[in-house]
Structure 1
Amino acid sequence: MGIVCAWLAQDVAPLDAMRTAYVGNAMQSDVDFLNTLLNRGGIESMLGVIALILFALGLGGLMERVGVLQAISNSFLRWADNAGRLTLSTMLGGFFGNFFGGAAYVSLITASTITEKNYDKQGIDRRVLSRNAEAGGTITTPMVPWTDGGVFMAMTLGVSTLSYLPFLWYHMLVLLITLFYGYANIAIWRTGEPQEDTAVPGVAMKS
């Protein structure tokens, strides 16, 4: 879309626009910070982050395929027996995806896959699952240095993750509010009657 806009609105040749998108723009101003920020390069400079995202997605699919997420899900299914614990387990699942998967996409997969059965079991609307997965997954992505979000922010700002971590007050506030809502049973929408407990694969049933 940017290439099309440059071609139609700025009279830039399509080939030049594509070259700029890939290699990056070159400009100079009186502000050194802007020069550093706007001359970092185009797609070429982000290939490392793109590769990280692709590998992370592959890892997420691998964990799903070999049953790692199912095994973790079984553990949470027994422990998260109320809205507060369910909220916490969903957020931990999202952080687990960021920490071991290195991408927000993986965190959303792990957070939802690990805990989705418990929401149905307790009769809680999956809108709550979406909100909690967002809080535990997307919000915590820039807090982990080796995630796609952490790498992007560190490269863009030119500082380490630990340097900007104290300024992520919005992220920390979201985590606290989400936990408070879960344990206080606020905005925990119900779908109706909870589903009956069923056998969980890999968990022995008592006779």
Structure 2
Amino acid sequence: MSVKIEKKNREPKEMTTKRALFGFLAPILVLVFLIGVGAEVTIAALVALFLMIAFCVYMGYIWKTIDEAMAEGVRQIATASMIMLLVGCLIAVWMSSGTIPTLLYYGMKIITPKLFLPICFILPAFMAVCAGTSWGSISTIGVILCGMSAGLGIPLGMTAGAVISGAFFGDKMSPLSDTTLLAASSVEVPLFDHIKSMWYTTIPATIISLILYTILGIRASGNINVEAVNELSNGLSATFNINIIHIIPVVLVLILSIKQVPAFISFGIGIGSAIIWSMVFQGHGFIENLGFIMSGFSVNSGVAAVDTLVNRGGFSSMLSLVGILLVLGMLSGLFSQTGVLNILVNKLSSRLNTPGTLLLGVWFSALLICLIGGQYPAIAITAVAYKDVCDRMDIHRVVLSRTLEDVGTMVAAIIPWSAWVIGYGVVLGGVTVQEFIPYTFLCMLCPIISLVNNFLGIGLFHKDDEVKYRPFWRRKKA
């Protein structure tokens, strides 16, 4: 008996650099390979987790220690997971209340011929921020805009590039976006601090993009065929009671966010106010709204574009993302317990000994994982690897989360071999990746501006700095 107890309580093996490299690379490469051959991200992450558990057993860790490490990883993302679920609920009731449909309806009124190409950026960006989805924006208003481009003498590739750039603006900046939520939660920073930090790269990239789109589209001529736009706007007005007052639930959440009310509370108030709005102005009952909150908003408007855009949200719609976060949280706990990441990052950071060079390491790590594994692993895994070393180097974690989105979220839109990117071209009228990628200016500019800002110290907050936007504010050299 004493021999068995001694065996159970033995010290784990020493974590050498070679073992740490294997312990990190083996699960990551398996994760990337499985995603590459078409497995769901959640299942690929689960397989990587079991491989990491096997590595922990090989290293001599007892099950109690492994279990506690995974539980700690889950504990760290518990609140973030709940916020993600609340976002799903919020989207559903903002659809039910007519809030998002009203924003979309008025947004489509700004199309003018001479500024068509910039509007191909602005309108999908507006819709994606409201709805929190790049795909929903691309597959609805994006399709309409690309259908209009031929009559205006603008190449389809330019229009598609502007649409995708705008849609990914929303994917990056919307508090309802899964990548925005994932980046903030993985790095463990408040959601709206993360968004404010991203202004340092997104605002200049947006301004440059709009200038370029204006120059490219200045020769646009002719009249817009308003039939497709009218179909969508008429479908919205026939399905919902459209009125400017329906944006009040959004304004309420924005005010609470500006007042720095915790996202958990502000989203909860947003859900409650939208339920009341839905009952009063859209005629949906209380129990019906509870069903929307659980399963997502659903309506049959008779207009396919309207149904595609508004039939979404709900608690259940976020379960897949929460599942990914849960598994990656467990993986993070095991990485931390074994010291795998500490060994590797410490070795790397001993050479990357300035904020600029360290963030260069973050930039390249996220880029490599994104190119072979996609958005979610690029954000979540790189966050786990670098968040503690950013603390030690007196770098605010919002700088890390911003860099992860500048690379992980934006580069994902321009990977030529990605099935999603190829799919964008198919949906937008059969345009090839070679035709539209050169015009996705925002997606190309954000990583470049991120790199420049990090080396110049622009927006590079100290660990305890208040997060606020001051254009061109620079970190003083130590």
Tell me the TM-score range normalised by the shorter chain.
Answer: 0.5 to 0.7
Please state if 1:15 is matched with 2:15. no
Please state if 1:79 is matched with 2:351. yes
Q: What is the aligned counterpart of 2:304 among 32, 47, 64?
A: 32
Question: How big is the shift at 1:30?
Answer: 5.4
| Aligned-partner Cα distance in 2 for 1:142–1:186 | 22
The answer as to whether partners of 1:77 and 1:115 remain within 8 angstroms in 2 is: no
Please state if 1:5 is matched with 2:5. no
1:9-32: CA deviation from partner (whole Å, max 9, x where unpaired): 333443321111112222233542
| Aligned-partner Cα distance in 1 for 2:444–2:336 | 29
Q: CA RMSD in A?
A: 3.6
Partner of 1:113: 388
Question: How big is the shift at 1:6?
Answer: 4.3
Q: State the one-letter code of the partner of 1:81.
A: N
Structure holding more helix per residue: 2
Q: State the one-letter code of the partner of 2:448.
A: L
Partner of 2:314: 42
Q: Quote the sequence identity (%).
A: 20
1:137-171: CA deviation from partner (whole Å, max 9, x where unpaired): 133343687xxxxxxxx9xxxx7145459476424
Secondary structure of the residue that 1:176 maps to in structure 2? Answer: helix
Change (3 A) 1:86 1:107: closer
| Aligned-partner Cα distance in 2 for 1:168–1:64 | 37
| Aligned-partner Cα distance in 2 for 1:10–1:38 | 14
Change (3 A) 1:88 1:65: same
| Aligned-partner Cα distance in 2 for 1:172–1:144 | 7
Whichever of the two has the greater Rg, that structure is 2
Change (3 A) 1:94 1:114: farther
The answer as to whether partners of 1:97 and 1:137 remain within 8 angstroms in 2 is: no
State the TM-score, normalizing by the size of structure 2: 0.31
Partner of 1:70: 342
Secondary structure of the residue that 2:350 maps to in structure 1? Answer: helix
Change (3 A) 1:81 1:4: closer
Equivalent residue runs for 1:53-202 within 5 Å: 53-94=325-366, 99=373, 102=377, 104-117=379-392, 119-120=393-394, 126-127=395-396, 130-131=398-399, 133-142=400-409, 160-161=420-421, 163-164=423-424, 166=437, 169-183=441-455, 185-187=456-458, 189-190=475-476, 192=478
Secondary structure of the residue that 2:297 maps to in structure 1? Answer: coil
The answer as to whether partners of 1:143 and 1:161 remain within 8 angstroms in 2 is: no
| Aligned-partner Cα distance in 1 for 2:457–2:313 | 46
| Aligned-partner Cα distance in 1 for 2:287–2:316 | 16
| Aligned-partner Cα distance in 2 for 1:182–1:103 | 19
Secondary structure of the residue that 1:79 maps to in structure 2? Answer: coil
| Aligned-partner Cα distance in 1 for 2:316–2:330 | 22
Please state if 1:52 is matched with 2:324. yes
Question: How big is the shift at 1:49?
Answer: 2.2
Relative contact order higher in (CA < 8 Å, ≥ 6 apart): 2
| Aligned-partner Cα distance in 1 for 2:329–2:369 | 10
Secondary structure of the residue that 1:10 maps to in structure 2? Answer: helix
Bigger shift: 101-110 or 57-66?
Answer: 101-110
Question: How big is the shift at 1:95?
Answer: 5.1
Question: How big is the shift at 1:92?
Answer: 3.5
The answer as to whether partners of 2:369 and 2:377 remain within 8 angstroms in 1 is: yes
| Aligned-partner Cα distance in 1 for 2:341–2:402 | 19
Q: State the one-letter code of the partner of 1:4.
A: G
Question: How big is the shift at 1:103?
Answer: 7.0
Bigger shift: 76-85 or 98-107?
Answer: 98-107
The answer as to whether partners of 1:107 and 1:137 remain within 8 angstroms in 2 is: yes
| Aligned-partner Cα distance in 1 for 2:271–2:451 | 43
The answer as to whether partners of 2:356 and 2:457 remain within 8 angstroms in 1 is: no
- Structure 2 residue ranges without an equivalent (≥5): 1-267, 413-417, 425-432, 459-473
The answer as to whether partners of 2:411 and 2:444 remain within 8 angstroms in 1 is: no
The answer as to whether partners of 1:87 and 1:182 remain within 8 angstroms in 2 is: yes
Change (3 A) 1:21 1:141: farther
Count residues with an aligned counterpart: 172
| Aligned-partner Cα distance in 2 for 1:168–1:58 | 36
Question: How big is the shift at 1:67?
Answer: 0.9
| Aligned-partner Cα distance in 1 for 2:340–2:271 | 42
| Aligned-partner Cα distance in 2 for 1:52–1:160 | 19
1:6-65: CA deviation from partner (whole Å, max 9, x where unpaired): 443333443321111112222233542221232246332332222112212222222122
| Aligned-partner Cα distance in 2 for 1:191–1:69 | 28
1:161-193: CA deviation from partner (whole Å, max 9, x where unpaired): 45459476424312111222344x34351374x
